[in-house]
Amino acid sequence: MAEDLVSEVEHQKDEEARKIYGGLCHSFPVLVRTCGLCQALAFSEAKKASGTNGRALAHRLLLEHVGKVLGITSGDILSEVRKADASKYMFYTRRVLDAWIYFKRFAVSILKVESAKEAQDG
């Protein structure tokens, strides 16, 4: 699934979005471990709403892909995670962290983004 989703990003016309998304693949797990899944999703939700630029598109794609990984296809991902009981929240967190290892690797091999810093600097 990760390969298919990252490959979809590769075909985006907006190069800035591709690069930022690649950087997010590297930095998102750190944000989840530091702040928690709900806060990490809230951060991307806020960035998604910030406009129509590449950064907003990258965060929109990230949220969509997190939803697919978690099997949340309808509704707001953030509200679904926020409503989860403790065991479900822990499951969601573990699932995202396990899946994001692959997203990070495919960001390197498919999108050619080696690190989150590279995506910010470029």
Name the 3-class secondary structure at 114.
coil
Runs of H (alpha helix) within 36-115: 37-48, 54-70, 77-83, 86-109
For the stretch 71-102, pLDDT in tens is 998 778 999 999 999 999 999 999 999 999 99
**Helix, strand, or coil here: 12?**
coil
Give the residue-averaged pLDDT of 50-64: 89
Number of domains in the chain: 1
Given this model, what pLDDT does residue 121 score? 45
Output the domain CATH number for residue 94.
1.10.520.30
Single pTM value for the model? 0.89
The per-residue pLDDT for 49 is 84
Structure confidence at residue 76 (pLDDT): 87
- Please give the residue range of the domain that contains residue 100: 2-6+15-121
